[in-house]
Structure 1
């Protein structure tokens, strides 16, 4: 695991029958000959436009793209007002705002969104830290779990008998990483097999553990957030997450021979 992180509602229909009495009562409230008002169709009841030309299809696809992206971002906007403003600007018509007013509104909204996201991120980070601390406190009391002074914990699943790598070595490993809730976020098999990386080029928890593992070992590592990604967890992990890894140390990769081999030595 590298230091930089490798992460429609269904329309409801209803029908209702009116009794003869209700029908008479309704008619009595309207002047003779006046038809009942016809309400415009809205939402899912609106028929989709016919997409006959490439221009139609592109226009609709772009609208879908904007709509779904804005929805995912949680933007609170009025689609009808948005459509009117889009049409006015696109057709160089009269707009209800000046360019400066538009920029002021968008700048203020962007700042509001950033502040909201920062607050949510801080809340998630604090909750993750509390959950991780509790997990590690409980975990270190379990049979076979070794807790190190750094906060790293490990459990030997398979003992190896080979040499132990040093800080300057490059190793070959199979691994799987999960969050404490069991959600898998990475595995070497997803990348085609064993991974090769320098011992000092991974998260601190791994760097410490690898130097204790003989080749052939398979360990379960319990890595506190400060020895993993801390506040900077990638999207599929998140901030302040305690991580669990199964790591199998397959081999220590031999350094490449100098160019020219033995023949390149001084005469």
Structure 2
């Protein structure tokens, strides 16, 4: 992976540059490139051994025989990055599941057969929707760690949603509600945005939605 070598090279440049004066254009260029690519590799959030990384850079720049042949190096990088990602994913899944396991023991929390947890905040008396309906809702969406990613109340207007087009957790949860109800849903990632997440929603996220069902519009309600 040539881009990895490039990153390593720029990291070597940045290791002591803060202690040195930028006396000419090449110094400034070197620092700027190191700053840029150093920021990039930091965002990768890898548990790097800086001493070994700089040792490898020095070996390459000084034309010393590297420890690993090209094919071996590629395999180590590929396997190592995958292992780190797998460990991160396992941690995300465990944290989200731990939250659900604890949450379902709270008073008032119920669990559907599919695994959606919910609380009734206000029980309405109207009809229930079907998957063929469009519903008008106000809602607040949060990640289980507390970050709000959407809020229709703040926008000042409710949203019309075709129930066939929403995430599985909503299809399950909203069908439980009578018109006029307000529920809080706790949705596992398998019924939400999955292993990849979406926008501000991280992968493997348990989601929390407060949903107020304001209206139900059937596609056949105006049929003659």
Matched, 1:105 2:73: yes
Q: Distance in 1 between matches of 2:215 and 2:58?
A: 61
Q: Rate the CA distance shift 1:112–1:191 in 2: closer, same or farther, 3 A.
A: farther
Report the TM-score, using the length of structure 1 for normalisation. Answer: 0.58
**Partner residue, 1:9:** none
Report whether the alignment pairs 1:66 with 2:37: yes
Question: TM-score if structure 2 supplies the norm length?
Answer: 0.66
Taking only aligned residues, the RMSD between alpha carbons, in angstroms, comes to 3.8
Name the counterpart of 2:4: none
Aligned positions of 1:12-51 closer than 5 A: 43=16, 46-50=19-23
| Alignment: residue pair count | 200
Do 1:168 and 1:198's aligned partners in 2 also have CA atoms closer than 8 Å? yes
Query: What's the counterpart of residue 135 of structure 1?
Result: 103
Deviations 1:207-232 (A, max 9, x none): 12212323333211133444334555
User: CA separation of 1:149/1:109 partners in 2, compared to 1, >3 Å: closer, same or farther?
Assistant: closer
Label 1:198 to 1:130 Cα distance change in 2 as closer, same or farther (>3 A): same
Which SS does the other structure have where 2:178 is aligned? coil
Q: Is the 8 A contact 2:140 2:153 kept in 1?
A: no
Which one of the candidate residues 148, 168, 178 is aligned to 2:132? 168
Alignment of 1:183-202 (within 5 A): 183-189=146-152, 192=155, 193-202=157-166
Q: Rg bigger for which structure?
A: 1
Equivalent in the alignment of 1:205: 169
Task: Return the alpha-carbon distance in structure 1 between the equivalents of residues 148 and 174 of structure 2.
Answer: 20
Contact conserved, 1:188 with 1:195, CA < 8 A, in 2?
no
Q: Greater CA deviation, 167-176 or 125-134?
A: 125-134
- 8 Å CA contact 1:176–1:184 kept in 2: the answer is no
Partners in 1 of 2:211 and 2:38 — Cα distance? 43
CA distances 1:21-53 after superposition (whole Å, capped 9, x unpaired): xxxxxxxxxxxxxxxxxxxxx84761341465x
Q: Which residue of 2 aligns with 1:26?
A: none
SS of residue matched to 1:167: coil
Alignment of 1:246-261 (within 5 A): 246-252=210-216
